[in-house]
Amino acid sequence: MSIKEYAKEMIERDQVFRDIAEQTETLWINDKLLPFEMTDALCQLVVTDEDIEDTERRLHKFAPYIKKCFPETAEDDGLIESPLADIPEMKRALEEKYGTEIPGRFMLKMDSHLPIAGSVKVRGGIYEVLKHAEDLALEAGLITEDDNYERFADDDMKEFFGKHTVQVGSTGNLGLSIGIMSAFLGFKVKVHMSADARQWKKDMLRSKGVDVIEYEEDYSKAVSEGRRLSDLDPTSYFVDDEYSLPLFLGYAVAAGRMKKQLEEKGVTVDGDHPMIIYVPCGVGGAPGGVCYGFKRLFKDDVHIFFCEPTLFPSVLLGMASDRFNEVNVSDFGLTGMSAADGLACASPSGLVTRICRNLLSGDFTVRDAILFDYMRMLKATEDIFIEPSSCAAFIGPLNIMKLDAGKTYLEKHGLTAEKLANATQVCWATGGRLVPDEIWDKYMNTYLE
């Protein structure tokens, strides 16, 4: 059966698929979520605990270089990390406006404010570029693994990397992370950007000396064309957001980092103190890595939900259909541009949809218009600015309590009122630090139907 035939059949017999086709906010509960102990061995065939530990070690080795070149990282001694903030006033405002209680402690993981490129994509993007630079330098005999990695700031290293190219396809934030870091190291950089990408992000990349190649088509076209052109150049390396394990590992490290922050804030996560995390989702790379990292650490005591635009629920469709990366949102009649530009991916990552099929709790969809309402509310209550795309996460703690599917999930997993009162609910802010002031003004005055 073709994808389009399958889509038609599912729309006719499944309410979630009808909601998607009608661009109605919905919640899909993962019917193949398994207890973690049943998925552990299978998951480690792809990514192991040792892989995540090796990634963290490599980031620590590069910390002296990062600290030297990016002074804003000095406070964390060259590690690229973001705050974890309590947002009680935002919680109260959401409860009052939408008439829905949000139980437990309410927090914001502010990857929107990560140093260097200001988005969650910094985690995976910068890590993959650094790993590629290390691989090249080791192979050329320019460094040894015992060297101080401040060596990467030397002029001869930049001259060496200038003989190589890094390419990536992006809707915006991954391009910024890859572009800024690669150009700083000395690489020639080409970023292939889809029609949804914001102009200011293209302009910022060009100001860093990056070659930005624009496409009238969507993200999938930018990725496929970037991959094709990179394959033609033996000196080129393509960062593949759809299939890259280094990217995935860079994101997975976030879990261990946040575990320490939770401990510092006196937060307990166990069977009586569950944690629920809501992550905005585009092609799936960043939220997939985050999901994997947290499930490895907290197992069944953490519940991960993705949040996608009603126009681009590609990961939801890929997983719910079990057709993974074969799915395109257009198969379900979804077309057009989304204000959630960072999440505007028509087809999902095959890697992530397969890895997370038994790990993810579910997936919310959210209308574009409400993103700007959430954004203004966060600014008014907590004086925090995050991109509209980032605000998709706020649909989760509201609708898990309001929608029948959410209530059923809570009941099935023993998340009683008593346990929810002791829960920690975390919304993941995925971008915003580099947004220019004039763009913030435009966002603040954007009202959609």
pLDDT in tens, 123-134: 999 999 999 999
Q: Each residue of 400-417: pLDDT tens digit?
A: 999 999 999 999 999 999
Same domain, 16 and 133: no
Q: Residue 329: give the domain boundaries.
A: 3-47+71-117+246-444
Same domain, 192 and 264: no
Q: What is the pLDDT of residue 1?
A: 77
Are β-strands 362-366 and 27-29 bridged in parallel, bridged antiparallel, or unpaired? Answer: antiparallel
In a domain, 57, yes or no: no
Q: What is the pLDDT of residue 447?
A: 94
According to DSSP, the residues that pair with 110 across neighbouring strands are 429
Q: What is the pLDDT of residue 220?
A: 82
Q: Hey, what are 19's tokens?
A: 């909601």
Same domain, 153 and 96: no
Query: Does the pLDDT at position 196 exceed 80?
Result: no
Q: Each residue of 223-262: pLDDT tens digit?
A: 899 999 999 999 999 999 888 999 999 999 999 999 999 9
Q: Each residue of 341-377: pLDDT tens digit?
A: 889 899 999 999 999 999 999 999 999 999 999 999 9
In a domain, 91, yes or no: yes
Q: What is the pLDDT of residue 47?
A: 87
Same domain, 284 and 214: no
Q: Which of 195, 196, 214, 216 is nearest to 205 (CA)?
A: 214
Query: Does the pLDDT at position 44 exceed 80?
Result: no
Same domain, 191 and 320: no
Same domain, 419 and 406: yes
Q: Hey, what are 33's tokens?
A: 């979520």
In a domain, 277, yes or no: yes
In a domain, 252, yes or no: yes
Q: What is the pLDDT of residue 41?
A: 66
Cβ neighbors of 15 (< 8 A, separation 6 or more) are: 26
Q: Which of 110, 290, 73, 75 is nearest to 184 (CA)?
A: 73
Residue 41, classified by CB atoms within 10 Å of its CB into exposed (0-12), middle (13-18) or buried (19+), is exposed
In a domain, 59, yes or no: no
- Which residue among 244, 271, 301 closes a domain? 244
State mean pLDDT over 2-7: 86
Query: Does the pLDDT at position 391 exceed 70?
Result: yes
Q: Hey, what are 46's tokens?
A: 């792809």
- Position of tokens 């609708």? 399
Number of folded domains that form the chain: 2
State mean pLDDT over 29-34: 96
Same domain, 224 and 264: no
In a domain, 296, yes or no: yes
In angstroms, rounded to a whole number, what is the distance separating the alpha carbons of residues 197 and 175?
Answer: 10
- Which residue among 244, 273, 289 closes a domain? 244
Same domain, 181 and 239: yes
Q: What is the pLDDT of residue 336?
A: 83
In a domain, 64, yes or no: no
Q: Which of 144, 118, 218 is nearest to 436 (CA)?
A: 118
- Which residue among 244, 268, 302 closes a domain? 244
Q: Each residue of 421-433: pLDDT tens digit?
A: 999 999 999 999 9
Q: What is the pLDDT of residue 287?
A: 97
Assign residue 425 the CATH number of its domain: 3.40.50.1100
Same domain, 301 and 430: yes
Identity (one letter) of the amino acid at 136?
Answer: L
Confidence at 40, pLDDT banded by 50, 70, 90: confident
Cβ neighbors of 6 (< 8 A, separation 6 or more) are: 321, 323, 331
Give the 3-state DSSP-derived string for the chain, with helices as H, strands as E and coil as C: CCHHHHHHHHHHHCHHHHHHHCCCCCEEECCCCCCHHHHHHHHCCCCCHHHHHHHHHHHHHHHHHHHHHCHHHHHHCCCCCCCEEECHHHHHHHHHHHCCCCCCEEEEEEHHHCCCCCECHHHHHHHHHHHHHHHHHHHHCCCCCCCCHHHHHCHHHHHHHCCCEEEEEECCHHHHHHHHHHHHHCCEEEEEECCCCCHHHHHHHHHCCCEEEECCCCHHHHHHHHHHHHHCCCCEEEECCCCCHHHHHHHHHHHHHHHHHHHHCCCCCECCECEEEEEECCCCHHHHHHHHHHHHHHHHHEEEEEEEECCCCHHHHHHHHCCHHHCCHHHHCCCCCCCCHHHCCCCCCHHHHHHHHHCCCEEEEECHHHHHHHHHHHHHHHCCCCCHHHHHHHHHHHHHHHCHHHHHHHHHCCCCHHHHHCCEEEEEECECCCCCHHHHHHHHCCCCC
Cα–Cα–Cα angle for 188, 189, 190, nearest 5°? 135
Same domain, 306 and 374: yes
In angstroms, rounded to a whole number, what is the distance separating the alpha carbons of residues 403 and 392?
Answer: 16
In a domain, 322, yes or no: yes
Same domain, 82 and 170: no
- On whether the CB atoms of residues 390 and 430 are closer than 8 A, the answer is yes
Same domain, 90 and 10: yes
